[in-house]
Amino acid sequence: MKIIYTDVLIIGGGLAGLRVATGVKERGHDAIVLTLVPPKRSHSAAAQGGMQASLANCKMGEGDNEDIHFGDTIRGSDWGADQEVARMFVHCAPKAIRELASWGVPWNRVKKGEHTSIINAQKVGIMEKEEAHGLITARDFGGTKKWRTCYTSDGTGHSMLFAVDNKAQEKKVEIHERLEAISLIHEDGRCYGAVARNLMNGELVAYVSKATTIATGGYGRIYSVSTNAVICQGMGQAIALETGIATLGNMEAIQFHPTAIVPVGILTTEGCRGDGGLLLDKDGYRFMPDYEPEKKELASRDVVSRRMTEHIRKGKGVQSRYGDHLWLDITILGREHIEKNLREVKEICENFLGIDPAVDWIPVRPTQHYSMGGIRTTHRGESQTLKGLYSCGEAACWDMHGFNRLGGNSVSETVVSGMLVSEYISDFCDSKESSVHITSSKIETFLQKEKDKLEALLTKENGEDAYILRRAMEKIMMEKVGIFRNGDDLQKAVDELEELLKRSKNIEVFRSKSRAANPALVNAYRTQKMIKLALTVALGALLREESRGAHSREDFPARDDENWLKRTITSWPDKNQTLPSVDYEEIPIGNMELPPGFRGYGKDLTIHHPKTAARVSMVEAISKKLEADGASRDEIQNALMPFLDKLPKKYRGKNERLGDNS
Amino acid sequence: MKREKIDKIPARLDLIQSSTGLILALFIMGHILFEASILISHEMMYKVTIMFEGYYFFGETYPGIVSFLAAAVFSIFILHAGIAMRKFPASYKQYRTIKDHALSMKHEDSSLWIIQVVTGFVMFFTGSVHLYIMMTQASNIGPYASSSRVVEELMGPLYLVLLVSVVLHAFIGLYRLALKWGFMEGKSTKVSRKRFKYLMKIMIVFYLALGTLSLAKYTYIGLSHDFSDGLRYQSPDIKMETH
Amino acid sequence: MKKENANRVLKISILRFDPNNPKDFPHMQTFEVLEAEGMTLFIALNDIREHQDNSLMFDFVCRAGICGSCSMLVNGRPTLACRTLTSKLERHITLAPLPLFQLIGDLSINTGKWMRGLNGRLETWIHDKEAEFSFDKLEQKMEPELANEIYELDRCIECGCCVAGCGTIQMRPNFVGAVGLNKIARYHLDPRDKREDKDYYELVGDEEGVFGCMTLLGCEDVCPKNLPLQSKIAYLRRMMIKTSMKD
């Protein structure tokens, strides 16, 4: 049996994983990255629109700072986020983007002088400052008060991923491609690495490490239509769940992106609307202002997706053989803008729809896009319950997005969390606690267990077809755990998924019996794991009897802080369970910098927590007093919710801005 | 970052290959045009011949000049062939690979390159023979002398093969040169490349037609002329002593 | 989409071979698939795997033409399968893996390893020994047009189509190919990379580099991202000649 030892094992070679690897390597620890695909093919590459960082360089971003980014993020999360984590994030986003600039990302830059933009369907002249010329510019995105989303045309994720992967290669990070972690090795509440399967030749390898990081992205592929890459199947969350010790947070928090093309579900970036694109119904009527007079098309993603669904339900959708859809109109941006700043969108329209978006409207509808939930960790990225297991990026729930993520905060999170978590991991590896105490015979037990499972799948007779189970699961998730949810459907979903789970124990790999590269075998074991994840989502959604962010219950339309200002924590302690165990973790109001309030969309139905009012007045009192004393915004912030001491020392500095609007 | 001296040879070789190719292609464009003077008249062809022998500069003809020119071209030819040879497929396997590749991809530019390889190969021999004869028998050029060579000395078939090879090789080469160095690339290489390719095709057709017609004319003269008076053409206007 | 195509039965012939199976040998296998509206090769191949032969190997990741995983020979020409609509092809479609790359099985190839080797050889990252980076300071300025130009070349997705489309590299596998030359052009353009012309000359100033290119332009013709390969290789060639003339 093959055992490979390293300091830090990183599962997942997207932006988050590569940034962690680079970070620990710089701190002098060995790092091995396991990836399903070559790192540059990770789903991070598909992030088109941009990365949020409050640089405040462009005219429409003037006056932006960490406070405003923080407020947008918390409101966007519908107060589900961990405010300290969000603070750490907004503080480090400018640092991350500047680091990426030095690593070679060709961020679009501010050009001095006047340029025209489309704002609210009007051409508007914007005058850029002389002194900002050549600094990183930004575009508008949904749910943000300022233009804060930095970009490279609409290939932002691609450019970031290439820069970070190149950096990792420069730093000699070891990349083991086409190796899939299929279970975690752990003992006595401590994680020691993973058992991985080589997808090219079927070999099983044990990777033993001081620290193990899961950065495998989201689990969108439990839905039949998703903007996610086909590898976003949540295998990282699943192997964590299968330890029985690590927990998952807020799995029911699933984001639907408003503008994926019909029918294939490929994303067209929020940048389309950020740059001035409009949503139209079957009559060519712009309906968003009727629902959201203030933010219109640029309301938060969850809001726009719900409004679109409502509008379709009113019979205003365009009928097609693939169901109803609406139109995204970017023709008003002009061909030049589209060919320069939205060229991926253009290519996608040409290749998958056969249309020219400079002339034609794009058929779109809300589609599964992002997983706010994931492996529950502390602000240090470490599992709350399984020591030595870390997670970051979309795979994790540390939890900066709460129940809805803002556009542009995802790629930003990947690099920021990668920067931070690599430091925490390095600290851990430097400490005595990190020493590895596991016998090789124990490791071999883990290997053998996986080998047996695979053998069972290949040798079973008269079993179930994994494809049939998987399609059934995807259908249940689409139909019953979608944008609008209700108790009856969710109960059915849980029951049906539980049934699928039982059947999935009896999966047989038909015909294709190779022990080496074998897509049928891969599909079989992944399907088993995906059904478990689907259950955590459906059950979490069923139990959460309120509407918060992207989780929208028709039977409980109000956000209920009194009963539900808490995180759903899911685990699977006994492998014979057919449903996950669900627990809750309070989100304490007492130390919130921004106490729960009204998000500003639709009618305010919020049922407030009894402690909210007290915290609101306390925050007001402290702020007023300090303002009167002439305190700076940083001092006020620090008085309300100190966070700097949680950051690694090198990231505590104040971010410089033009004219220093601190 | 190393600080040793860079090896300049690869750059030199590339530049020499391209520039010798360019010179030879321009030469051939002129050569075929001049030679086609026979299509106008015997007299015209004669005048062109003596022009190259320096008659209009010195008042008398020196075939040595042509010998010298032929030797110069021959040298460039050898240089070009020697350097370009390194691009040839080095084995049958490589040849097979590129041929299958071009065919299965149905890729015109790759196929054009194979044509260049084949024509280049053909010219190793045909070109050498022709150039050697021109070098050694420079005085035997003229309406009758040349026709005699085509017919009596059985050079016709060789010239035909050489003509096709050289025209294809030269114009494909010029097309490739333009693309290779970004000559008149313009805003869109798609547009400029299309134009260059079109031009290349026109030139190939034109020069093949012109060359073939000239060759036909020499053949005709060769067959119909009575060579018993010798090979020399007597101009009605220009009288001179031979050297 | 044309109506008459809606109900075609596609015949998809795939070059199959499992190198892990000692009894297997390369052979063509033909599948019939009922064409649907908007069907891409991504949909067709998954359909075959799910309903006809679950051992069929191929690679898709983003399935949106962004990640470069699914390059293969479609009727002999390298292209991204995910964004190839079947309606644009004849009824009989031939699929084969890209040549030159290590074959994992059927249509699945190891482009990752090849590209990583190339990136290591050309050191495709920013070289700046004197850089003093501060996490807190304003970023270095860059001309907006220059940033756009760099991005234009940064768009390469390492799909390998240009490699498979290049006759030169088929004959001489050590040639860096358009993907490598484009990367050099990209870093040469980038003022953040402090490498000098001579450094680049050492990387690609030979016959495995820019002087190996015979301008067959297969790369330019098959690049799914329409990168300006012809133009950039010509530019590099001129630049390398200039460099060789100095000192």
Residues C157, C84, single domain; the answer is no
pLDDT of residue B3: 55
Instruction: List, for residues B47-93, the tens digit of each pLDDT value.
Output: 999 999 988 888 888 889 999 999 999 999 999 999 999 999 999 99
Q: Which helix (H) or strand (E) holds A336?
A: helix A335-341
| Domain-located, residue B175 | yes
| Torsion region of C105: left, alpha or beta (phi above 0 gives left; psi -120 to 50 gives alpha) | left
Residues in B touching C216 (Cβ below 8 Å): 107, 109-110, 113
**B170 vs B143, higher pLDDT:** B170
| Domain-located, residue B3 | no
pLDDT of residue B228: 82
To probe the interface with C, which of A48, A171, A230 has the most C CB atoms within 10 Å? A230
pLDDT of residue B60: 86
Q: Which helix (H) or strand (E) holds A157?
A: helix A156-170
Is the pair A, B in contact (3+ CB pairs within 8 Å)? no
Residues C21, C67, single domain; the answer is yes
Residues in A touching C131 (Cβ below 8 Å): 102
Of A585, A540, A595, give the one whose Cα is nearest residue A253.
A540
Residues in A touching C108 (Cβ below 8 Å): 517
CATH number (domain holding residue B110): 1.20.1300.10
Q: Which amino acid is present at C124?
A: T
CB within 8 Å: B14 and C202: no
Residues in C touching B89 (Cβ below 8 Å): 171
pLDDT bin (cut points 50, 70, 90) of residue B243 is very low
Respond yes or no on whether the N-terminal peptide bond of residue A399 is cis (omega within 30° of 0): yes
- What residue in C sits closest to A40 (Cα-Cα)? C67
Domain count, chain B: 1
Q: Which amino acid is present at A239?
A: I
b/e burial code for range C148-179 (CB count within 10 A of at least 16 → b): bbbbbbbbbbbbbbbbbbbbbbbbbeebbbbb
Alpha-carbon dihedral angle through residues A514, A520, A525, A529, given to the nearest 10 degrees:
170
CATH number (domain holding residue C23): 3.10.20.30
Mean of pLDDT values over B199-216:
97
Of C159, C145, C146, give the one whose Cα is nearest residue C225.
C159
DSSP characters over chain C: --GGGTT-EEEEEEEE--TT-TT---EEEEEEEE--TT-BHHHHHHHHHHHT-TT-----SSSSSSS---EEEETTEEEESTT-BGGGS-SEEEEEPPSSSEEEETTEEEHHHHHHHHHHHHT-S---TT----SSSPPPP--HHHHHHHHHHHT----SHHHHT-HHHHH-TTS-HHHHHHHHHHHHH-TT----HHHHHHHHSSTTTGGG-----HHHHH-TT---HHHHHHHHHHHHHHHHH--
- Interface check C160 vs A, CB under 8 A: no
- Interface check C24 vs B, CB under 8 A: no
CATH number (domain holding residue C155): 1.10.1060.10
- Interface check C216 vs B, CB under 8 A: yes
| Domain-located, residue B139 | yes
CB A181 within 8 A of CB A11: yes
CA A138 from chain centre, in angstroms, equals 21
Residues C138, C101, single domain; the answer is no
Give dist(CA C47, CA C33) in Å, integer: 8
pLDDT of residue A263: 85
To probe the interface with C, which of B2, B5, B8 has the most C CB atoms within 10 Å? B8
Residues C44, C69, single domain; the answer is yes
Beta-carbon count within 10 A of B18 CB: 20
Distances (CA, A) of A272 to A259, A276, A330, B7: 9, 7, 7, 50
Among C63, C80, C108, which residue terminates a domain? C108
DSSP characters over A543-556: H--S-BTTBEETTB
Q: Any residues with CB less than 8 A from the CB of A397 and at least 6 apart, and which?
A: A248, A249, A250, A372, A373, A374, A375, A376, A377, A567
| Domain-located, residue C116 | no
Q: Catalytic residue among A43, A197, A221, A273, which? A: A273
- Mean per-residue pLDDT of chain C: 94
Q: Is ipTM > 0.95 here?
A: yes
CB A200 within 8 A of CB A511: no
Q: Catalytic residue among A257, A311, A379, A599, which? A: A257
pLDDT of residue A659: 78
Residues C158, C228, single domain; the answer is yes
Cα of C18 to nearest chain A Cα, Å: 8
How many helices (H) and strands (E) are present in chain A, helices listed first? 18, 22
Respond yes or no on whether the N-terminal peptide bond of residue A293 is cis (omega within 30° of 0): no
Residues C131, C229, single domain; the answer is yes
CB within 8 Å: C241 and B14: yes
Distances (CA, A) of C97 to A231, A621, C18: 21, 68, 12
| Domain-located, residue B237 | no
| Domain-located, residue C115 | no
| Domain-located, residue C3 | no
Domain coverage including residue B164: 12-224
- Interface check A169 vs C, CB under 8 A: yes
pLDDT means per 10 residues, chain A with 662 residues, are 95 98 97 97 94 96 96 96 98 98 97 93 94 96 93 95 97 97 97 97 97 98 96 98 98 96 91 94 95 92 94 93 92 93 91 93 95 97 98 97 95 98 98 94 97 96 96 96 96 98 96 94 97 98 97 96 97 96 96 94 92 96 96 95 96 91 50
Give dist(CA A468, CA A527) in Å, integer: 10
Domain count, chain C: 2
Among C74, C108, C142, which residue terminates a domain? C108
Among C108, C135, C170, which residue terminates a domain? C108
CB within 8 Å: A38 and C138: no
CA angle B234, B239, B243 (to 5 degrees): 90
Instruction: List, for residues C106-148, the tens digit of each pLDDT value.
Output: 999 999 999 999 999 999 999 998 878 999 999 999 999 999 9
Between C20, C55, C65, which is nearest A519 by CB? Answer: C55
| pTM for the predicted model, two decimal places | 0.95
pLDDT bin (cut points 50, 70, 90) of residue B227 is confident
Residues C88, C186, single domain; the answer is no
- Interface check C218 vs B, CB under 8 A: yes
Give dist(CA A254, CA A242) in Å, integer: 21
Q: Any residues with CB less than 8 A from the CB of C101 and at least 6 apart, and which?
A: C109, C110, C111, C114, C160, C163, C164
Q: Is A273 a catalytic residue?
A: yes
Encoded tokens for A566: 């808490």
Give dist(CA B47, CA A280) in Å, integer: 79
> What residues are paired with A571 via a beta bridge?
A581
Give dist(CA A304, CA A257) in Å, integer: 8
pLDDT of residue B230: 80
pLDDT bin (cut points 50, 70, 90) of residue C246 is confident
CB within 8 Å: A266 and C64: yes
Q: Is A301 a catalytic residue?
A: no
Residues C202, C236, single domain; the answer is yes
Encoded tokens for B173: 């080469």
Residues C128, C104, single domain; the answer is no
CB within 8 Å: C216 and B97: no
pLDDT bin (cut points 50, 70, 90) of residue C247 is low
| Domain-located, residue B236 | no
CB A23 within 8 A of CB A418: yes
Cα of B111 to nearest chain C Cα, Å: 9
Residues in C touching B8 (Cβ below 8 Å): 244
- Interface check B89 vs C, CB under 8 A: yes
b/e burial code for range B67-95 (CB count within 10 A of at least 16 → b): beebbebbebbebbbebbeebebeeeeeb
Residues C151, C179, single domain; the answer is yes
CB within 8 Å: A102 and C126: yes
CB within 8 Å: A159 and C85: no
Give dist(CA C192, CA C141) in Å, integer: 10
Cα of B169 to nearest chain C Cα, Å: 14
- Return the half-sphere exposure (C-beta side, CA atoms, 13 A cut-off) of residue B61: 22
CB within 8 Å: C135 and A231: no
Residues C175, C241, single domain; the answer is yes
Between B10, B105, B185, which is nearest C218 by CB? Answer: B105
pLDDT of residue A320: 87
pLDDT of residue B61: 87
Domain coverage including residue C44: 9-108
Give dist(CA A91, CA A100) in Å, integer: 16
| Domain-located, residue C113 | no
Of A274, A256, A287, give the one whose Cα is nearest residue A366.
A256
| Torsion region of A141: left, alpha or beta (phi above 0 gives left; psi -120 to 50 gives alpha) | beta
Give dist(CA A284, CA A331) in Å, integer: 13
| Domain-located, residue C234 | yes
Between B11, B104, B109, which is nearest C244 by CB? Answer: B11
pLDDT of residue C3: 47
Residues C99, C133, single domain; the answer is no
**Number of A–C residue contacts, CB under 8 Å:** 215
Which position has the token pair 């794991």? A529
Beta-carbon count within 10 A of A120 CB: 11
Between B6, B94, B98, which is nearest C205 by CB? Answer: B6
To probe the interface with B, which of C244, C245, C247 has the most B CB atoms within 10 Å? C244
CB within 8 Å: A40 and C192: no
| Domain-located, residue B183 | yes
Chains linked to A by 3 or more Cβ pairs within 8 Å:
C
Q: Any residues with CB less than 8 A from the CB of C245 and at least 6 apart, and which?
A: B11
Between B6, B13, B101, which is nearest C201 by CB? Answer: B6
pLDDT of residue C6: 56
Residues in B touching C238 (Cβ below 8 Å): 181-182
